[in-house]
């Protein structure tokens, strides 16, 4: 097939030619889901497909990650495009012929779509490489759901040889119909921290509370006070969530226990709000020694930072999607989920494209046992990302 001169037609034709094959690859990956750092078979499929395309690649990065390189015909920047490969511990209920063949595991977050879409982008850009400036680094990442794969890939030198200048990520979204796309300026996903608080009192008989220090009443007060962190301490224009998701203490109705333990998560989109929330949680817990006589040990652990889109990547990428597919992309607000792509975007300017995957007449959601995306999102995602890559490198 001769390549069309204009990029719109060339990318569309190249994608159409491989779309059926991509759907077959996706169904194969979907039927064989693997958990974080166990993506051995999936990484094998990726390596086999890159091999077929003649794209040089390295395997075994962060255990099961794969990184491929497409070098353009002219010098230019290095663009990393990242897909995640891991599945979830969910038992699939779709009943589809290509449903998971492994009990208790399912690609319910659509990372099978992501892996396949990036393979499609690899095939298209590999064909366009002679006319392309710069280099594409194809990043097939393990363990996104465990929020661990990207950190290890970075530690193992993902950004070097060649040095990455900018990055593209993407996630499917069944809340958006297939054929449409979404973008968010600035912070789009939250920083995710966790904390554990041990509230120390003094145990004793429930009938003689004056001889004890009650950690249950102490914990109850502290947990209620933590709700003032969001409402009274952080800027109302900076969203924060403080949720206590677990509390344990006491065994019997007639005993005041020695300790109570509670655990929670803090989500935030802006660094100052994150700092304020952590400081306020520590202060309210530690201050309970003066007010309630309970001594608190606070273990606060910072997780991934917020995922922040950079307009230097976002604006040309959004324009590229419009050039390729028309008026199909809308601005959307951020959400308080988290994703370790944020660690990559912390180091190089990046943009995460949302790819609509909702099928007509369905109301699917991610991490749901019945998730059945519209597979048209694969070819459309390939076109959108391939065009965005070309524009970003030109
Ligand atoms: Zn997920
Ligand atoms: Zn996901």
User: What is the pLDDT, as a whole number, of residue 177?
Assistant: 98
Ligand 2 centre distance from Cα of residue 367 (Å): 8
Ligand 1 centre distance from Cα of residue 222 (Å): 32
- With 70 as the cut, is the pLDDT of residue 75 above it? yes
Of the listed ranges 2-6, 8-12, 262-266, 288-292, the one predicted with least confidence: 2-6
Ligand 2 centre distance from Cα of residue 86 (Å): 8
Ligand 2 centre distance from Cα of residue 171 (Å): 6
User: What distance in Å separates the CA atoms of residue 367 and residue 370, rounded to the nearest whole number?
Assistant: 9
Q: Which residues pair with 196 in a beta bridge?
A: 263, 299
Q: What percent of the chain has pLDDT over 90?
A: 98
Ligand 2 centre distance from Cα of residue 293 (Å): 44
User: What is the pLDDT, as a whole number, of residue 337?
Assistant: 93
Mean pLDDT of the chain: 97
Helix (H, G, I), strand (E, B) or coil at 365: coil
User: What distance in Å separates the CA atoms of residue 165 and residue 348, rounded to the nearest whole number?
Assistant: 6
Distances (CA, A) of 234 to 229, 270, 338: 7, 10, 20
User: What is the pLDDT, as a whole number, of residue 287?
Assistant: 98
As a whole number, mean pLDDT of residues 48-56 equals 98
User: What is the pLDDT, as a whole number, of residue 326?
Assistant: 98
Q: Which residues of 355-364 are buried (b: 16+ CB within 10 A; e: fewer)?
A: bbbbbeeeeb
Ligand nearest to the backbone CA of 173 = 2
Domains, the chain: 7-189+306-393 (3.40.630.10), 191-301 (3.30.70.360)
As a whole number, mean pLDDT of residues 158-168 equals 98
- With 70 as the cut, is the pLDDT of residue 1 above it? no
In which band, very low, low, confident or very high, does the pLDDT at 162 lie, cut at 50, 70 and 90? very high
- With 80 as the cut, is the pLDDT of residue 70 above it? yes
Preceding amide of 39 cis, omega within 30: no
In which band, very low, low, confident or very high, does the pLDDT at 256 lie, cut at 50, 70 and 90? very high
- With 80 as the cut, is the pLDDT of residue 229 above it? yes
In which band, very low, low, confident or very high, does the pLDDT at 4 lie, cut at 50, 70 and 90? confident
User: What is the pLDDT, as a whole number, of residue 3?
Assistant: 79
User: How many helices, marked H, and strands, marked E, lie in the chain?
Assistant: 9, 16
State which residues have CB under 5 angstroms from ligand 1, the bound ion: 109
Q: What percent of the chain has pLDDT over 70?
A: 99
Ligand 2 centre distance from Cα of residue 85 (Å): 9
Q: With beta carbons less than 8 A apart as the criterion, state whether 328 and 179 touch.
A: yes
């Amino acid at each position: 097939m001769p390549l069309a001169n204009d990029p719109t037609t060339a990318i569309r034709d190249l994608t159409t030619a491989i779309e059926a094959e991509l759907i077959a690859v996706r169904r194969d990956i979907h039927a064989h889901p693997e958990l974080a750092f166990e993506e051995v078979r999936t990484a094998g499929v990726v390596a086999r497909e890159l091999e077929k395309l003649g794209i040089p690649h390295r395997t075994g990065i962060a255990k099961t990650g794969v990184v491929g390189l497409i070098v353009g015909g002219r010098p230019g920047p290095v663009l990393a495009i990242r897909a995640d490969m891991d599945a979830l511990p969910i038992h699939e209920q779709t009943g589809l012929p290509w449903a998971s063949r492994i009990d208790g595991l399912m690609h319910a977050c659509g990372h099978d779509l992501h892996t396949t879409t990036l393979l499609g982008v690899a095939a298209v850009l590999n064909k366009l490489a002679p006319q392309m400036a710069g280099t594409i680094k194809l990043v097939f990442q393990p363990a996104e759901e465990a929020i661990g794969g990207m950190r290890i890939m970075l530690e193992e030198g993902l950004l070097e040889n060649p040095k990455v200048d900018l990055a593209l990520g993407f996630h499917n979204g069944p809340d958006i119909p297939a054929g449409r796309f979404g973008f968010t300026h600035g912070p789009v996903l939250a920083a995710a921290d966790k904390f554990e608080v041990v509230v120390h009192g003094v145990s004793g008989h429930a009938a003689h509370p004056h001889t004890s220090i009650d950690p249950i009443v102490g914990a109850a007060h502290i947990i209620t006070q933590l709700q003032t962190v969001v409402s009274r301490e952080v800027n109302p224009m900076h969203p924060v969530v403080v949720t206590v998701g677990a509390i344990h203490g006491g065994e019997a109705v007639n005993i005041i226990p020695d300790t109570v333990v509670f655990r929670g998560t803090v989500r935030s989109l802006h660094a100052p709000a994150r700092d304020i929330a952590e400081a306020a949680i520590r202060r309210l817990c530690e201050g309970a020694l003066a007010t309630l006589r309970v001594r608190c040990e606070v273990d606060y652990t910072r997780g991934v930072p917020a995922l922040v889109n950079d307009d230097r990547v976002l604006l040309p990428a959004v324009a590229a999607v419009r050039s390729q597919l028309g008026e199909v992309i809308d601005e959307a607000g951020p959400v308080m989920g988290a994703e370790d792509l944020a660690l990559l975007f912390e180091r190089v300017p990046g943009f995460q494209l949302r790819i609509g995957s909702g099928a007509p007449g369905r109301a699917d959601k991610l991490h749901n046992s019945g998730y059945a995306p519209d597979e048209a999102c694969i070819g459309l995602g390939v076109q959108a990302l391939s065009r965005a890559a070309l524009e970003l490198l030109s």
